[in-house]
Amino acid sequence: MKMQLVLLMILSTLFFANCENVSELTNKQSTISEYEVTYGTSFGMCVGPCRKELKVVKNEIIFTIFFNEGRGATGGTPKTYSEGLEAALGNSLVNSIDYESFKKLNEVFGCPDCAYGGAEWLEILKDGSKHKVTFEFGKAPKEIESLVIMLREKKVYFEAKYLK
């Protein structure tokens, strides 16, 4: 009987200690509201919707299309669309962000928008600190590739829905 009581006390202690560790871990996890994530594409020598930007702010996704009317022209007023951010996408984005590693990346990879090839960029703002990485269209650095793929997919969704 004493042995069973001691075993029960040990198991109870382990159980409650484990619950406390899970609680501490949950409190330290980041949420998407701690970040402002901007992803975009641009093509310099282009007519039409040449620059597109997707911004995740708090629990909202804002998609902006910038039109260019020709060489050197800035075009008309940008068109902006917004939707609520799905919780699953917000969690996936947060899990893909390693902000400390991101800040260490070079600001430019390759030759973005050279020879009409286009450019992509990813900018992350956290706690007043901002870092932007620009790279050749379709050639995301491996360190941020999974994050860029998620944002590209969301951009394609907005294009299909609003660019007709």
Answer for the pair 150, 140: CB distance below 8 angstroms, yes or no: no
Question: What are 96-130's pLDDT values in tens digits?
Answer: 999 999 999 999 999 998 887 899 999 999 999 99
Number of domains in the chain: 2
Backbone conformation region of residue 113, classed left if phi is above 0, alpha if psi is from -120 to 50, else beta: left
Q: Which segments of the chain have a pLDDT < 50?
A: 6-8, 19-28
Q: Verify that 4 and 76 share a domain, yes or no.
A: no
**Among 158, 160, 164, 128, which Cα is nearest to 53's?**
158
CB atoms within 10 A of CB 96: 16
CATH number at residue 56: 3.30.1560
Containing structural domain, residue 10: 1-29
**3-state DSSP assignment of residue 84:** strand
Regarding whether 38 and 23 lie in a shared domain, the answer is no
Do 12 and 75 belong together in one domain? no
